[in-house]
Amino acid sequence: MNVYEYLLSYHIKPSVQRIAIMDYLLKHETHPCIDEIYMALCKEIPTLSKTTVYNTLKLFVEHGAAKMLTIDERNACFDGNTSLHAHFLCRTCGKIYDLPFRENPAEREELEEKGFVLEEIHRYYKGTCPECAKKAGERN
Q: What is the DSSP letter of 27?
A: H
Reported as type and span, the H/E element at residue 99 is: strand 96-99
pTM of the prediction? 0.81
Averaged pLDDT, 86-100: 93
Residue range 20-48, pLDDT digits in tens: 999 999 999 889 999 999 999 999 999 99
The predicted pLDDT at position 140 comes to 63
Mean pLDDT of the chain: 92
State the span(s) of the chain assigned CATH 1.10.10.10. 1-80
Q: Which CATH architecture has domain 83-140?
A: 2-Layer Sandwich (3.30)
Dihedral pair phi/psi, residue 136, rounded to 5°: -65, -40
CATH number, span 1-80: 1.10.10.10
State the span(s) of the chain assigned CATH 3.30.1490.190. 83-140
pLDDT reading at 105 higher than 90: no
